[in-house]
Amino acid sequence: MPELPEVETTVKSLNILKNKKVIKLSIHTKKLRFLVPNKSLQKIVNSKVINLRRIAKYVIIDLNTANSIIIHLGMSGRLKILKNQNLLSKHDHIVFVFVDNYTLIFNDPRKFGFIDITRSDKINNIRYIKRLGIDAMDKKLNTDYLYERFSKSQVLIKQLLLNQHIVAGIGNIYASEILYDARISPMLKGKELNKSQIGTIIKSIKKILKKAIKFGGSSINDYVSPDGTLGNFQNNFKVYGKEGRIVDGNKIKKIILHGRSTFFCPDIQK
């Protein structure tokens, strides 16, 4: 699943569409994760894109009609930008055609993503947006905030980092990398962490995600940015996917926590 760095990279790639008008929209499926709001989407024809942004793992396209398109890429979804091309590929479900021969395509083989549309001033009231915790890159993410939510929790820290209602944007890959950088065991419970350790985790969150954004995200599980560029952060992984390897003189171990692959170094992550 694309995580915060991949979604941030996607949004940056989409900036080429800013100030461009939608001149045609075609929908080739009735349902993704949810029903596609066909009639509402068709009304955006002749609207202009005025801003592109990210909320957690959601791509937001703001229009000059005071409406916003919300896109979640799910497990296998991606957005593609084509120039002077009209050929569709398998799993191309929604196609936006812009002036200047630009085409934006929502492709999703597994159909776990979705697309929605709402008034821009109501976006924070939508159920799945309203329930989000503080964005992982937000300055409001501080030690006091996390300590309050972790200090009485019996849940493992790895799962707490994946809880989008606490911290929004972190997924399985980056949770392993963050905890390795912080030298914190993924098997510690939230209540077992002191404020100093939580402060270290926050520093690692910012460090790892910023570096991943710099490298264009991680191109594993077929993630590719809208312009076709592959991310390179997977070449900087310290632990993810490195079971049995020696990293910085220490052997990496893989375990399964709550059904998710977790990579860490038990010798240095205490």
pLDDT for residue 222: 60
Q: Which of 12, 189, 207, 260 is catalytic?
A: 260
Average of per-residue pLDDT across 121-137: 97
Does residue 270 have an active-site annotation?
A: no
Following DSSP, what letter does each residue of 211-230 receive, concatenated?
Answer: HHHHTT----TT---TTSPP
Asked whether the predicted pLDDT for residue 270 surpasses 70, the reply is yes
**How many Cβ atoms are within 10 Å of 95's Cβ, its own excluded?**
19
pLDDT higher than 70, residue 220: no
Q: Please calculate the CA angle 254-259-262 and round it to the nearest 5 degrees.
A: 25
DSSP category for residue 128? H
- Known catalytic membership, residue 260: yes
Report the SS3 class of residue 22: strand
Indicate which residue of 3, 6, 8, 177 is catalytic. Answer: 3
pLDDT at 259: 93
- 8 A C-beta contact, residue 74 and residue 57: no
Residues 6+ apart with CB under 8 A from 128: none
Task: List the single range of 25-34, 54-63, 65-74, 84-93 with lowest mean pLDDT.
Answer: 84-93
Q: Looking at the predicted structure, is the pLDDT value of residue 85 above 90?
A: no
Residues 231-259 have pLDDT tens digits of 778 888 999 999 999 988 989 999 999 99
Domains, the chain, in order of start with CATH, read 4-130 (3.20.190.10), 134-264 (1.10.8.50)
- Mean pLDDT, residues 208-230 taken together: 80
* Distances from the Cα of 43 to the Cα of 65, 107, 122, 220, angstroms: 10, 21, 18, 35
Each residue's pLDDT tens digit, 88-110:
899 999 999 999 999 999 999 99
DSSP 231: P
Cβ atoms < 10 Å from Cβ of 236: 13
Mean pLDDT of 102-124: 97
Average pLDDT on 158-162 reads 98
The percentage of residues in the chain with a pLDDT greater than 90, rounded to a whole number, is 86
Determine contact, residues 78/224, Cβ cutoff 8 Å: yes
Q: Known catalytic residue: 57? A: yes
> How high is the pLDDT of residue 216?
87
Question: Catalytic pick from 57, 80, 158, 238?
Answer: 57
- Percent of the chain at pLDDT exceeding 70: 97
